[in-house]
Amino acid sequence: MIQTTNDSSWQEILAGTIKNTEELCRRLDLKQDALPADHPLLKNFPVRVPAPFLARMEIGNPNDPLLLQVFPGAAEANSTPGFINDPLEESNANPHPGILHKYKGRALLLVTSSCAIHCRYCFRRHFPYADNLPGRQHWRESLDYIANDTSLSEIIFSGGDPLTLPDAYLGWFIEELSRFDHIKRIRLHTRLPIMIPQRITESLCELLANPRFQTILVLHSNHPGEFDVEVDEACQKLSQAGVCLLNQSVLLKGINDSPATLAALSERLFSAGVLPYYLHLLDRVIGAAHFEVNEKDASVLMKKLQATLPGYLVPKLVREIPGEAAKTLAV
């Protein structure tokens, strides 16, 4: 295992993420075929791995399930029919820069394009962030969209990863939203408590404990090996701040597509105080075809999972269908 310094600030760890394949292989003592550094898929969506996540990978193991989520293998370059740039057709649900309105009663705020990690299966890996991130001075009209739509009761902070933003900027969004009486809940979709658990500071917890809102944080963990003591502590701090913790995973070939791994993930999540919520079928984005598990195999897997776990530990298998007002149950 690779050691990390536990007392670095989350900003230092974020700034120090590994940003190229050579460095990743060197740190893990691997010699791997990968996409060439000048391949457009890698230039547009480079490697990104933070040290705490790297520290949970096994040195010398090219099939480590955490590594496979971030390693840009040559398979990314295969062209596969049906895999496209915008598989969820989000460009049709983008009424103002920074706003996605896909679901009934809920809207997404795309508050940043940055992530602590680049997941090679990410459905937003080709998202046109440059056209979609208003500068702070231009957020007013996007926020007016939320103010004027009283059918909205929940705002989902998304991106990118919203917890890569400094507290002051996050706090500004929360403060703005608190002026709209119809907004009852805020939800954050984030991998930071897993990737850089140091991000869960006291000041962040104070921010999220705002009594004006019910606050939900949806982690994105795909494998039980992503958890360690520091992640447990981060989850505990969030729970103590009154934040409701849920998890969503993506079903990924070679990473978590076995009943034993998914059962272990559910057990591990619950021991950290997190409820398994969704298991997503892969969104068919260019570069990610090698991760796909077909619906028939996924359904067999779910039946085995249901036979293993109590119902509250079985996530719902879902897929997102463009234009639908909510996720669609796959079984």
Piece of the chain touching ligand SF4 by CB under 6 A; list 1-9, 15-23, 111-119, 210-218? 111-119
Contact between 37 and 85 under an 8 Å Cβ cutoff? The reply is no
d(CA 240, CA 326): 30
When asked if residue 96 is in the footprint of ligand SF4 (CB under 6 A), the reply is no
- Number of amino acids touching ligand SF4 (CB under 6 A): 10
When asked if residue 117 is in the footprint of ligand SF4 (CB under 6 A), the reply is yes
Least spacing, CB of residue 179 vs ligand SF4, in Å: 28
When asked if residue 280 is in the footprint of ligand SF4 (CB under 6 A), the reply is no
Going through the chain in order, the beta strands assigned E by DSSP cover 99-103, 106-110, 154-158, 185-189, 214-220, 244-250, 275-280, 316-319, 328-329
Between 249 and 309, name the residue whose CB sits nearer to ligand SF4.
249
Least spacing, CB of residue 180 vs ligand SF4, in Å: 25
Which residues, 176 to 215, sit near ligand SF4 by CB under 6 A? 191
Which residues, 146 to 175, sit near ligand SF4 by CB under 6 A? 160-161
| Contact characters 211-240, ligand SF4, x per CB under 6 A | ---------x--------------------
Query: Cα separations (Å) of 287 from 120, 276, 282?
Result: 8, 27, 12
Piece of the chain touching ligand SF4 by CB under 6 A; list 86-94, 110-118, 134-142, 270-278? 110-118
Contact between 57 and 67 under an 8 Å Cβ cutoff? The reply is yes
d(CA 150, CA 157): 18
d(CA 157, CA 173): 9
When asked if residue 90 is in the footprint of ligand SF4 (CB under 6 A), the reply is no
Closest CA to 24 of 66, 71, 56: 71
Tokens of 34: 């990968």
When asked if residue 115 is in the footprint of ligand SF4 (CB under 6 A), the reply is yes
Closest CA to 291 of 125, 59, 147: 125
Least spacing, CB of residue 229 vs ligand SF4, in Å: 22
Piece of the chain touching ligand SF4 by CB under 6 A; list 99-107, 115-123, 202-210, 317-325? 115-123
Least spacing, CB of residue 236 vs ligand SF4, in Å: 22
Closest CA to 14 of 201, 247, 187: 201
d(CA 269, CA 263): 10
Least spacing, CB of residue 114 vs ligand SF4, in Å: 8
Between 119 and 281, name the residue whose CB sits nearer to ligand SF4.
119
Closest CA to 107 of 7, 203, 182, 32: 182
270 CB neighbour count, 10 Å cutoff: 16
Least spacing, CB of residue 196 vs ligand SF4, in Å: 11
Between 90 and 161, name the residue whose CB sits nearer to ligand SF4.
161
Question: Which of 56, 102, 118, 199 forms a contact with ligand SF4 (CB under 6 A)?
Answer: 118
In the numeric block, the tokens 């809940």 are attached to 185
Question: Which of 124, 187, 223, 290 forms a contact with ligand SF4 (CB under 6 A)?
Answer: 124
Contact between 35 and 43 under an 8 Å Cβ cutoff? The reply is no
Least spacing, CB of residue 331 vs ligand SF4, in Å: 23
Least spacing, CB of residue 117 vs ligand SF4, in Å: 5
Q: Which residues bind ligand SF4 (CB under 6 A)?
A: 115, 117-119, 122, 124, 160-161, 191, 220
